[in-house]
Chains A and B, each alone.
Chain A
Amino acid sequence: MSLIEEIDYGTPRSKSETMVTLTIDGNQVTVPEGTSIMRAAMDAGHQIPKLCATDMVDAFGSCRLCVVEIEGRAGTPASCTTPVMPGLVVHTQSERLKKLRKGVMELYISDHPLDCLTCGANGDCELQDMAGAVGLRDVRYGYEGENHVFAKSNGEVNAAWMPKDESNPYFTYDPSKCIVCSRCVRACEEVQGTFALTISGRGFDSRVSPGMSESFLGSECVSCGACVQACPTATLTEKSVIEIGQPEHSVVTTCAYCGVGCAFKAEMRGEEVVRMVPYKDGKANRGHSCVKGRFAWGYTNHKERILNPMIRERIEDPWREVSWDEAFSFAATKMRGIQKKYGRDAIGGITSSRCTNEETYLVQKLIRGGFGNNNVDTCARVCHSPTGYGLSQTFGTSAGTQDFDSVEDTDVAVIIGANPASAHPVFASRLKKRLRQGAKLIVIDPRRTEMVESPHVKALHLPLMPGTNVAVVTALAHVIVTEGLANEAFVRERCDWAEFEEWAAFVAQPKHSPEATAILTGVDPQVLREAARIYATGGNGAIYYGLGVTEHSQGSTTVIAIANLAMVTGNIGRPGVGVNPLRGQNNVQGSCDMGSFPHELPGYRHISGDAVRDQFEALWNVKLNPEPGLRIPNMFDAAIEGTFMGIYVQGEDILQSDPNTKHVVAALSSMECVIVHDLFLNETANYAHVFLPGSSFLEKDGTFTNAERRIQRVRKVMSPKNGMADWEVTIALAKAMGFEMNYSHPSEIMDEIAALTPTFTGVSYAKLDELGSVQWPCNEKAPEGTPVMHIGGFVRGKGKFIVTEYVATDERTGPRFPLLLTTGRILSQYNVGAQTRRTENVVWHAEDRLEIHPHDAEQRGVRDGDWVRLASRAGETTLRAEITDRVSPGVVYTTFHHPDTQANVITTDFSDWATNCPEYKVTAVQISPSNGPSDWQKSYDEQARHSRRIAPAEAAE
């Protein structure tokens, strides 16, 4: 194993298909038109010296180190900004070029500290490399002149010197080492799209400036790390590199945060992570990252991580640390005892969307095969289960239709109920890049999110009232149908025409017009009509949506309405279009694929199908139950009723993440055996009897499947700190319960998945190692996977239009609860915060705040930063207010990253009609000033502290 060195070609790849041949240093080189001479030379293996060029950003031509000579042309053009032409004869090395380059380097070094031995970039510094490359041996100018290097010069304070900025928790900015190549500025603009950095001043006064000469932390910087990656010197350096030193080997793996699934190089020293660097060949992220994946991995060795198994008889008792064997036998005895007493169906489990495909597969196998029932569910229940239902009904597959590269061909992007800038930041950066090239953006969201307005991006915003998605999307369809904008040729060819006609007649009814529905939705009919016209006629239209669509009483209906919209406009089945659910967790797509839902086996095949069951029964050597099992909310109901008494929860914090916390507490308290398998004593563990320590994504092998259906390897870079990878824990628990599963490596589990799942038959670790990643379906028909689905026809045959009647949620505002609460996420925190709260990311978001419109705040006497009581029909909590017009009057908003906020005490039991996905996004609430935590918060905190006690080890005799 060694450090993976990725070739820097100096300038981005040209997409042209026209090829050009030229001669560089006597070699014939053929490259796409539009390629720079620098890149063409690198293609031929000749590295032209460079400082300001790197292939993540466009050429800039400022350092003049990459000059070349071209026969027949005057002067010495910069090779980064000069495109190739047929027949050019280029020389990259000559006496004249050598002299010029040495002169340039001499000037650079005359204003740069010579502390190479103690510098953080020692061993990874392009300035050092270039000094070597040009043969710099002397600096004739000396170091005494005007400079940015020394705090004092000639005994006087040096006004040009600036101290280090260490405000960002993860990297430092040392202006004395800056060569003003502006790679960081361009990375912030072109790659990330935040425009937080600029070069202030001119000439010798030029400085990299975050915001208006602010600190990095105080500026609008989002800490994505692109600038640090781009920096050729030690000016921007990871603090971990400064502390530890340069890595010696690296391993490509997949981020364990969101559903974008960024590929990273874990750069290591022994078993210690030095840094995580986004991998250029990662097909989801193309070399970009966000603050979470790039920097927030410190939770993996946080002091609160639990490394030993623990058990207790009652949740009032302190935890007792025991051996693995004792924990497994205790858990197995309890679970089997419950089945004896209450029946086979009285236990179940929850697979983790944070764990690998292989681990998820094993948990559902244990439940179906070992428990003998189908009481298995996963956190997709509370996020994208309506996507699975809606897209399988209309298109025939339960997943998004495109890859992320598709966005590069999109002309109109529609974002519904999602805020990628916060929740899927790397995708947001890729989308913004396309928007800056001229694509249009429509945002349908109650809140003016970061996507609506950002540098060089202005969306058409439809600020709807929470809970009216179906009315808005159906109104869009109304406009398309009644204004004659439907793509009839597409519909006739690909969809069921009779169903279309029935649907078209339905949406064309005047009651579905934007004018008629405006009173419910609050959306200006003219704006809605404009949006419909742009989507239907603006070229390639792509819809991206999130939990603002699914987490409603009519979540599944909205997904169907979105699918109808894509079909009626013909925006399906080619690059640049499609219906794209932005999946939340790293492996939530995978956990659904792996049969985590109670009604279906891996590959989305219903459990009642005899042929499918036969296949699994033969390989697993068990009899399977043909009846669907309980979904998570049904499990809670059954627990309270007394028919569901034991649960194995792998890597999910149901108590914090599921709605109506009091109901969940009642359910968990009713159970006789709760097994929590996690990194930390999470909130659910407060009600657990068995705690099995988990392993982080750095400590095991496996695969994750991202929102594009892309299966990518997770690779072990260190031994599990708890002693066992999660898949090994499940196998041992199964064994203790008398259900043997024998695998010596996760690759064998994938082989079994491939053998049993038609969309995975071509997947193997060998193929993933060879291709980097594949998108399912991957089988004999598509050996290298399927980037875009439904090309030429839908998976189900004909696309199915289904009518979508708007039904108001039963969660209504009224005199007691006049405001609507909706919930969301913030960039620096992730989901329930179990990981990110245990990193330095808390500097950006130390607590959840309640966003409230100035008008609503004034009526209630609430000022910015005040504590407010937030009450719904389900419960009440307190948190601090943030007054902002990002939300409309009548709407309030909060995040749910912190357990002490208890946002889910407020949310209710209402759920999607088809899948029971909870209605997180609409809760009627009232706000009033408050002076501290609610009684519930106090008693919850007390119980949590009591429950987390671990008994001291008994002294040895």
Chain B
Amino acid sequence: MSSPDRLVYMANQIGMFFKSQGHDKAVPGIADHIKKFWDPRMKRAIFAHLDAGGAGLEPNVLEALTSLKQTISLPAAP
């Protein structure tokens, strides 16, 4: 994942599915999906991107990732 672009794209794609369920369902839905299906290095990379301002992330996705980052602890990078 040399560039975060692909991860941002994937995260926004997930966001797009949940969008029609409304903000209150979408944010936890997105966070849960990424928590369940993304490998730790993907999570670390998207969190790093988030720390760098999270350019390109849709609002719901940005919010979901921000809350997810606070709730999970990832193993350290090798």
Question: Which A residues form the contact surface with B (CB < 8 A)?
Answer: 342-346, 374-375, 506, 553-554, 556-557, 598-599, 606, 608, 627-631, 634, 637-638, 640-641, 643, 802-805, 807, 909, 913-916
Contacts and interface: CB of A to CB of B under 8 A. Distances in A.
22 contacts: A343-B77, A346-B78, A374-B39, A506-B20, A557-B17, A599-B36, A599-B37, A627-B40, A630-B41, A631-B39, A634-B42, A637-B6, A638-B41, A640-B2, A643-B41, A802-B21, A804-B20, A805-B20, A807-B16, A914-B17, A914-B33, A915-B37
A28 to B, nearest CB: 63
B74 interface: yes
A803 B36 contact: no
Given A343-B78, A643-B41, A803 B21 contact: yes
Interface of B: 1-2, 6, 10, 13-14, 16-17, 19-21, 33, 36-42, 74-75, 77-78
Contacts of B16: 805, 807, 913
A640 B13 CA distance: 22
Given A807-B16, A913-B16, A913-B17, A345 B1 contact: no
B14 to A, nearest CB: 5
Contacts of A374: 39
A913 B13 contact: yes
A346 B1 CA distance: 13
Contacts of A346: 78
Nearest to A506: B20
Contacts of A554: 17
Contact of A803 (B20, B37, B42): B20
B72 to A, nearest CB: 9
B68 to A, nearest CB: 13
B44 to A, nearest CB: 10
Given A606-B36, A630-B39, A805-B19, A638 B78 contact: no
A345 B14 contact: no
Central interface residue in A345, A803, A913, A915, by most chain B CB within 10 Å? A913
Contacts of B38: 628
B1 A641 contact: yes
For the complex of A and B, 9 pairs with smallest distance between CB atoms: A343-B78, A913-B13, A805-B20, A630-B39, A641-B2, A627-B40, A803-B20, A641-B1, A807-B16
A805 B25 CA distance: 15
A553 B14 CA distance: 10
B20 A628 contact: no
B2 A627 contact: no
Given A345-B78, A807-B16, 17 more contacts: A343-B77, A345-B41, A346-B78, A553-B13, A627-B39, A627-B74, A629-B39, A630-B39, A643-B41, A805-B16, A805-B17, A909-B6, A913-B17, A914-B17, A914-B33, A914-B37, A915-B37
B76 to A, nearest CB: 10
Contact of A627 (B6, B14, B17, B75): B75
Most chain-B CB neighbours within 10 Å: which of A346, A634, A915? A634
A143 B2 CA distance: 83
Nearest to A912: B13
Contacts of A606: 36
A913 B14 CA distance: 5
Contacts of B13: 553, 913
Contacts of B41: 345, 630, 638, 643
Nearest to A642: B2
Contacts of A640: 2
A599 B13 CA distance: 19
Contacts of B40: 345, 627
Contacts of B37: 599, 628, 631, 914-915
A506 B22 CA distance: 12
A643 B13 CA distance: 24
Nearest to B6: A637
A608 B34 CA distance: 13
A628 B39 contact: yes
Contacts of A634: 39, 42
Nearest to A643: B41
Contact of B14 (A342, A344, A805, A914): A914
Contacts of A344: 78
B38 to A, nearest CB: 7
A481 to B, nearest CB: 16
A628 B17 contact: no
Contacts of B74: 627
A554 B16 CA distance: 10
Nearest to A343: B78
Contacts of A638: 1, 39, 41
